[in-house]
C-alpha cells in the first residue's frame, strides 16, 4: 500500500494530444451551419421562440441533436465519438473507454452483465450502492458479501481489507469476479493494487465502482486510480468529481480477462439509441480540462483542504481525520477531497439536522448526512473561499449548539454480522410482495432494500431477514430530514415469503 507520507508516481499526460476535443469541436462546427432540421428532437434546435427551453441558451439547444454521419453514431462509433473515447482511454491509462449517458449505474450493470452468467458468484463489499444489487437481481448473480472495516464510534463503513478479501476468495475460489469500490462514498481506499494482484492470481476479473474516483488520475497526492492499480473494468463518474454534466460517466477497460466485444454489445443493449450529445460532449470537455489542468488545480487545492481539516478539528463538537490518522485507525488510505465531518456528543444536533441547517440557514449544500456525520465533496473547481464559508458556518453552529455537558450520541447502526440471505435477489424481484407494519417485521424477509439517499447504500437488502437492530435504526431514520428509499409508508415495509411457508 502507498504509505500516507509517500506520493504515487503520476504518469505524464501528453498535453498536446489532450488539447483536442473531437466531439465537442464537431458539435461547434455543426452549430455554425444553417441546417434546417426535419429530424428529431422536436424542439428543432430551438426553432420555436416561445418555448422556455431558450432559458438554457441557444448553444445548448443547437447541441442537443441526434446522430448523423458528421457527428458519428453511439452504437457503432467510427468518427468523432470514437476519437473522443480513445482520448479518454489514453488519459485514464485504459485500453478502451466507453461513454455512458445513464451514469455509473449503467456502467455497473454493464460490468456485471458482461462478466457474470446466471448463477455465478460475485464477491463484493456489504456496503455497495443499490445499482449493484439491481444488476445482480437482473443477472441472477449470487452475492458473496464481505464486511468492510467499520467506524464503531460514528457508525459508517469504510473499505475492504486485503486480508478479508483473501480469506473470502480462499473460501470461494469458484467466484466469477471480485467487485470493489475505489473509493467508498466517504473516501476510504483499499490496498487496491494488492487486491487486484491477488484476484488475478485466481484468474478473477476485478470490477471497480469508481463513481467517486474520477479525479484520482490527476495528482500524486491522491490514491491510485483503478487503471493504475491494474483493474479489468471500472465505471467512473466524471460528473461527480471530474466536471462533466450530471448522468455522464465512462466505462474503462483494461487487459484481456474480459471480452471487449461483449462489453460493447451489453452497453448498446442498456443505452438509449438517442444518446445525448450534450452529455457525451461534456465528457470530452471534462477530460481535456482534467488532462491539461487537473494536476495544477489539485496542487493548489490540497493545502487548503488540509488547513480546513485542521481548523474544523479545533471547533468544539466537530472532528475530521487526516490521511495519517485514518491509515493508523483502519489501515486504509483516504481520499482527502472527501470532507467527512464527525459530530460528537457535545453538539445538540444530529448529522441529519446539521445537513438541513447548513442548507436552510447558511445556503451550503452538503453531499449527505448520517446520524453522527455530515459529508461534503470538493473537486478541482473548488477554492479557498468556499472552504472558508463552510468553516465559518460550522464555527457558528458550534457556538449555537455546543454543550460540553452532553454525552449522548445519536443512535447508530452497529456493525452487524451479515444477515441471512433467505432468498435470491432475482427470486425477490419477481415474487409477490405485501406490506406489514415495521414493528412486526422481525425475522421477515425484506422484499425491497431500505436505504437513505444519498448515498444509496442499503441498510437491509432485498432477500435478507430483518433484525430488531435494523428496525430500531429505520425508525430513527424516519424522524430525520433525509430522503428514504424502499418503502412508500414510513411505518410499513414490504416483505416476501418463500414458497411453501
DSSP 93-107: T-SEEEEESSHHHHH
What is the reported pLDDT for 35? 86
Measured torsion, CA atoms of residues 282, 286, 288, 289, in degrees rounded to the nearest 10: 140
Cell of 94: 485504459
The answer to the question of residue 189 being in a domain is: no
Query: pLDDT: is 473 or 350 the higher one?
Result: 350
Structural domain count of the chain? 2
pLDDT (0 to 100) of residue 473: 75
Query: Residue 298 domain-assigned?
Result: yes
Judge contact between 162 and 191, C-beta under 8 A: yes
Task: Report whether 491 contacts 445 (CB < 8 A).
Answer: no
Examine the pLDDT at 267 and tell me if it is beyond 70. Answer: yes
pLDDT band at 489 (very low <50, low <70, confident <90, very high): low
Shared-domain flag, residues 397 and 430: no
Mean pLDDT of 388-406: 94
pLDDT at 382 over 90: yes
User: CA–CA separation, 470 vs 79, rounded Å?
Assistant: 52
- Domain membership of residue 116 (yes or no) is no
Report, as an integer, the average pLDDT of 43-54.
90
Averaged pLDDT for residues 12-35: 94
Domain assignment present for 87: no
Tell me the CATH number at 298.
3.90.1150.150
In a domain, 147, yes or no: no
C-alpha span between 374 and 461 (Å, rounded):
24
pLDDT recorded at residue 370: 85
Provide the strand spans (E) within 174-245: 177-181, 188-189, 206-210, 233-236
- The predicted-structure confidence for 273-307, as pLDDT tens digits, reads as follows 999 999 999 999 999 999 999 999 999 999 999 99
Residues 54-110: pLDDT tens digits?
999 989 999 999 999 999 999 999 999 999 999 999 999 999 999 999 999 999 999
pLDDT at 391: 98
pLDDT digits (tens, 9 = 90+) for 452-466: 655 556 778 888 888
Does a structural domain hold residue 444?
A: yes
6 has pLDDT over 80: no
Report yes or no on 452 lying in a domain: yes
Tell me, yes or no, whether 432 and 484 share the same domain.
yes
Q: Does one domain contain both 396 and 432?
A: no
Kindly state whether residues 318 and 382 are assigned to the same domain.
yes
What pLDDT is recorded for position 487? Answer: 56
pLDDT surpasses 80 at 1:
no
Paired sense of beta strands 206-210 and 177-181, if any: parallel
Residue 249 β-bridge partners: 100
Span of 170-179, 184-193, 265-274, 427-436 with lowest mean pLDDT: 427-436
Same domain assignment for residues 384 and 432: no
Q: Say yes or no: 465 and 383 in one domain.
A: no
Q: What is the pLDDT of residue 452?
A: 66
Which residue is listed with cell 458519428? 72
Helices (H), 435-481: 468-478
Q: Could you tell me if residue 191 is inside a domain?
A: no
pLDDT grade for 3, boundaries at 50, 70 and 90: very low
Same domain as 388, residue 444? no
**pLDDT at residue 485 in the model:** 55
Give the pLDDT score at 429. Answer: 87
Q: What are the b/e assignments for 29-46, b being 16+ CB within 10 Å?
A: ebeeeeeeeeeeeeeebb
Same domain, 446 and 391: no
**Looking at residue 437, which CATH number applies to its domain?**
3.90.100.10
Residue 182 in grid coordinates:
475505489
Q: Given this model, what pLDDT does residue 5 score?
A: 41
Same domain, 385 and 444: no
Residue-averaged pLDDT of the chain: 90
**Residue pLDDT, tens place only, 121-178:** 999 998 888 899 999 999 999 999 998 888 877 777 899 999 999 999 999 999 999 9
Residue predicted with more confidence, 234 or 434: 234
DSSP code string of 226-245:
TTTTT-SEEEE-HHHHT---
160-169, 194-203, 399-408, range with the lowest pLDDT: 399-408
Residue 434's domain comprises: 425-496
Do 312 and 379 have their domain in common? yes
Tell me what pLDDT residue 246 has: 97
Q: State whether 396 and 433 are in the same domain.
A: no
| Nearest alpha-carbon partner for 93 in 203, 5, 9, 160 | 9
Under 8 Å between Cβ of 450 and 459: yes
Predicted confidence at residue 474, as pLDDT, reads 77
Residue 304 and residue 393 in one domain? yes
Q: What is residue 480's predicted lDDT score, i.e. its pLDDT?
A: 66
Q: Is the pLDDT of residue 413 over 70?
A: no
Amino acid at each position: 500500500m502507498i504509505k500516507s507520507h509517500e506520493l504515487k508516481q503520476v504518469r505524464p499526460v501528453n498535453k498536446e494530444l489532450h488539447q483536442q476535443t473531437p466531439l465537442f469541436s464537431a458539435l461547434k462546427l455543426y452549430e455554425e451551419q444553417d441546417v434546417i432540421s426535419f429530424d428529431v428532437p422536436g424542439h428543432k434546435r430551438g426553432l420555436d421562440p416561445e418555448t422556455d427551453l431558450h432559458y438554457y441558451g441557444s448553444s445548448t439547444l443547437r447541441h442537443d441533436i441526434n446522430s448523423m454521419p458528421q457527428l458519428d453514431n453511439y452504437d457503432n462509433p467510427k468518427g468523432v465519438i470514437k476519437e473522443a473515447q480513445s482520448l479518454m482511454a489514453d488519459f485514464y491509462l485504459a485500453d478502451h473507454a466507453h461513454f455512458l449517458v445513464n451514469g455509473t449505474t449503467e456502467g455497473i450493470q454493464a460490468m456485471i452483465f458482461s462478466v457474470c452468467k446466471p448463477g455465478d458468484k460475485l464477491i463484493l463489499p456489504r456496503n455497495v450502492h443499490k445499482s449493484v444489487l439491481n444488476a445482480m437481481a437482473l443477472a441472477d448473480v449470487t452475492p458473496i458479501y464481505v464486511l468492510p472495516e467499520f467506524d464503531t464510534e460514528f457508525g459508517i463503513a469504510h473499505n475492504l481489507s486485503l486480508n478479508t478479501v483473501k480469506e473470502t476468495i480462499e473460501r470461494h475460489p469458484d467466484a466469477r469476479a471480485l467487485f470493489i469500490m475505489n473509493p467508498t462514498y466517504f473516501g476510504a481506499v483499499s490496498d487496491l493494487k494488492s487486491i487486484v494482484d491477488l484476484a488475478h492470481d485466481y484468474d478473477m476479473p476485478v470490477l471497480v465502482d469508481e463513481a467517486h474516483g474520477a479525479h484520482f488520475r490527476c495528482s500524486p497526492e491522491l490514491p491510485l486510480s483503478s487503471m493504475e492499480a491494474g483493474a479489468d473494468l471500472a465505471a467512473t463518474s466524471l460528473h461527480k468529481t471530474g466536471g462533466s454534466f450530471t448522468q455522464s460517466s465512462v466505462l474503462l477497460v483494461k487487459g484481456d480477462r474480459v471480452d471487449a466485444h461483449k462489453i460493447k454489445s451489453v452497453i448498446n443493449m442498456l443505452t438509449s439509441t438517442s444518446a445525448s450529445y450534450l452529455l457525451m460532449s461534456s465528457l470530452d470537455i471534462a477530460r481535456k480540462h482534467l488532462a491539461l489542468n487537473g494536476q495544477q488545480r489539485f496542487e493548489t487545492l490540497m493545502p487548503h483542504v488540509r488547513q480546513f481539516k485542521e481548523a474544523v478539528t479545533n471547533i468544539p463538537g466537530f472532528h475530521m481525520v487526516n490521511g495519517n490518522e485514518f491509515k493508523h485507525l483502519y489501515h486504509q488510505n483516504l481520499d482527502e477531497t472527501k470532507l467527512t465531518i464527525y459530530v460528537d456528543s457535545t453538539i445538540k444536533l444530529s448529522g441529519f439536522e446539521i445537513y438541513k441547517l447548513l442548507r436552510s440557514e447558511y445556503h451550503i449544500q452538503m453531499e449527505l448526512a448520517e446520524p453522527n456525520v455530515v459529508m461534503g465533496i470538493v473537486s478541482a473547481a473548488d477554492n479557498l473561499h468556499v472552504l472558508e464559508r463552510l468553516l465559518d458556518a460550522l464555527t457558528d453552529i458550534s457556538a449555537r449548539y455546543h454543550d460540553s455537558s452532553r454525552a449522548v450520541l445519536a443512535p447508530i447502526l452497529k456493525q452487524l454480522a451479515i444477515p441471512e440471505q433467505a432468498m435470491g435477489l432475482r427470486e425477490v424481484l419477481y415474487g409477490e410482495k405485501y406490506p406489514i407494519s415495521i414493528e412486526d417485521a422481525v425475522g421477515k424477509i425484506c422484499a425491497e432494500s431500505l436505504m437513505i439517499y444519498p448515498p444509496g447504500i442499503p441498510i437491509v437488502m432485498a432477500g435478507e431477514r430483518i433484525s430488531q437492530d435494523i428496525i430500531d435504526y429505520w425508525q430513527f431514520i424516519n424522524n430525520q430530514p433525509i430522503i428514504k428509499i424502499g418503502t412508500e409508508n414510513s411505518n410499513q415495509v414490504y416483505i416476501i415469503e418463500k414458497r411453501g411457508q
